[in-house]
Amino acid sequence: RDEYQILYGPEGQVQRLLRDADGDGVAEVVVVFGSDGKPERGEIDTDGDGVVDRWEYLDSAGGLEAIGLSRFNIDTAGEPGPE
């Protein structure tokens, strides 16, 4: 399977872009697109355990608006860390 996959909706619009960087068959990064065809958010598995632990929300211009982190995988400095 390729490193990148694009999933299309019933009308041919891009809905998701997936990246499986390590080739294990599980995407580490998923970019979710809105009905306008622009990326809305990224869902990222930063530690490769198969669970999304970082969310990046984009504004209408595609710029980073906010970041969400799983509280089950945050070290004391507020950064992603070991579980």
- 25-48 pLDDT, tens digit per residue, is 999 999 999 999 999 999 999 988
Q: What is the pLDDT of residues 3-23, one digit of tens each?
A: 999 999 999 999 999 999 999
Q: What is the pLDDT of residues 36-82, one digit of tens each?
A: 999 999 999 998 888 999 999 999 999 999 999 987 655 544 455 54
Q: What is the pTM of this model?
A: 0.80
* Whole-angstrom distance, CA of residue 26 vs CA of residue 19: 8
The region, left, alpha or beta by phi > 0 then psi within -120 to 50, assigned to residue 78 is left
pLDDT, residue 74, reads 54
pLDDT, residue 73, reads 59
